[in-house]
Amino acid sequence: MSIFRIGFLPLVDSVLPIVAHEFELAKAEGVSIELVKDPSWATVRDRLIYGQTDAAHLLAPLAIATSLGLDRPAVPLGAPFMLGLNGNAVTVSPRIAALLGEGAVDDVAATGQRLAEVARAEAKAGRKLRFAVVHRYSSHNYMLRYWLAASGCDPDHDVEIVVVPPPFVAEALEVGEIDGSCVGEPWNSVAVERGVGVIVAATARIWSRGVEKLLAFRRQTLDERRDEVAALLRALHAAGKLVADRQRRDEVAKVLAKPAYIDRSAELIARALSNRMVLAQGQAPTAITDFLVLHREAANFPWRSQAMWLYSQMVRWNHAPLDSQGFEAAAAVFRPDIYRAALAGTDAILPTASAKVEGAIEQPLGASSVSGRLILGPDTFFDGRRFDPDRAEEYLAQG
């Protein structure tokens, strides 16, 4: 049986490869999965590029940065399968949460404005707010920056943005090392349970279909093991279906809770899986629509326009140079061709296009597909902007 060693960080959105392994869906496709847990994204990336693993649960922008060689020699990666959309939240210390007021999570635009005011006041008093993101090249960094900037807060001057690995976020909030963070689950919930953090925004409200983790391979692996990769993708698709089944949610949460995976309680893990988050210690759960989308609406399809939006943000914050080749190279990391070839003949929805205007869908919309009925849910940005991949440089020129 062909083996895929898959690197991952303990996060709820590592669920698909774990479920594919634990529920023997990979075995049914004739492949076997070995999971390799690590504490930092740098390590997950290094194991992948130096061949200790065959694939990795990876931040989408980090896969792009690695392929482009942004701060280390380039290693071309390919991502034929997204592991979910959104699933992150902004959690702040109880002191800042009190300044933002009740019901912050309901209105991300108003909360952004309020946060910008607080940030400026704190900076004026010589206490610049410090926010943690999980990596320089992370959706967390770009979503937080997008939100702050659109709310009138300059993320490079009005606040400080630092890097803290997810498992250390609660501790960093507790000792006052940071005032807030943008991190994936269950690490917001861990901070909430300790009473050291309050969830004030979900990234799903900043961009309702935000690009997040992907399954990355060395491009060489994609070329040399095409059939085996296809079998693995079918297993992950089956895992998505299982995870989408409400009846099996508790079972899935229990598996993720094992020490070998997330090593936190199933109750905590189930929150993101059920889109019901406890925002502050002792509160009843609040429903957050599409907090984490793992399977529906062809969520695992690698839209090249999403890679290009990420590249636009990398340019915007001086993480990458502005050139059209960069946009093309970023788009080429996403491999919708492999996704379609692997899932042809299954019940998976296969979109016809490989790119779309991001942020243009306000009401559920039928879209063209090779097979299956594709209905795309609202994918708007909170400030109403749209990203047309054919006019990426124009988009950047507007700020």
Partner 1 sequence: MDESPARAAVIEEGLREAGLSDISILVERRGLVARLEGLAPDVVLINLENPGRDMLEESFALSRALARPIAMFVDQSDEHSIAEAVDAGISAYVVDGLRKDRIKPILELAVRRFKAFSRLQTELAEAQSALADRKVVDRAKAVLMKRRGIDEPAAYALLRKQAMDSGRRIAEIAEALVTADALLGGDS
Q: Which is nearer to partner 1, 134 or 292 (CB)?
A: 134
> How many of the chain's residues bind partner 1 (CB under 8 A)?
26
Query: Does 54 engage in binding with partner 1 (CB under 8 A)?
Result: no
CA distances from 330 to 4, 61, 151, 244, 295 (A): 25, 9, 27, 30, 23
Cα(169)–Cα(347) distance, integer angstroms: 39
**Segment interacting with partner 1, rule: CB under 8 A, options 24-32, 117-125, 134-142, 224-232:** 134-142
The residues with which 182 forms a beta bridge, in sequence order, are: 90
Site for partner 1 in 72-131 (CB under 8 A): 72-73
Select from 29, 38, 54, 193 the one that contacts partner 1 (CB under 8 A): 38
At residue 326, what is the residue type?
G
Q: Which is nearer to partner 1, 178 or 361 (CB)?
A: 178
Cβ closer to partner 1: 51 or 345? 51
Does position 364 interact with partner 1 (CB under 8 A)? The reply is: no
Rule CB under 8 A: choose which of 52, 220, 289, 352 binds partner 1. 52
Question: Which residue has 């297993």 as its token pair?
Answer: 235
Q: Is 259 in the site for partner 1 (CB under 8 A)?
A: no
Q: What are the residues whose beta carbons fall under 8 Å from the beta carbon of 334, sequence distance 6 or more?
A: 79, 214, 302, 303, 304, 306, 307, 354
Q: Would you list the DSSP string of 14-32?
A: GHHHHHHHHTTHHHHTTEE
- Residue with Cβ nearer partner 1 (160 or 267): 160
User: Which residues within the stretch 152-191 sit at the binding site for partner 1 (CB under 8 A)?
Assistant: 162-165, 167-168, 177
Residue 259: exposed, middle, or buried by beta-carbon count in 10 A (0-12, 13-18, 19+)? exposed
Angle between helices 226-244 and 336-343 (to 10 degrees): 80
Smallest gap from residue 50 Cβ to partner 1 (A):
4
Q: Which is nearer to partner 1, 221 or 380 (CB)?
A: 221
Name the residues that contact partner 1, by CB under 8 A.
38-43, 46-47, 50-52, 71-73, 134-136, 162-165, 167-168, 177, 318-319
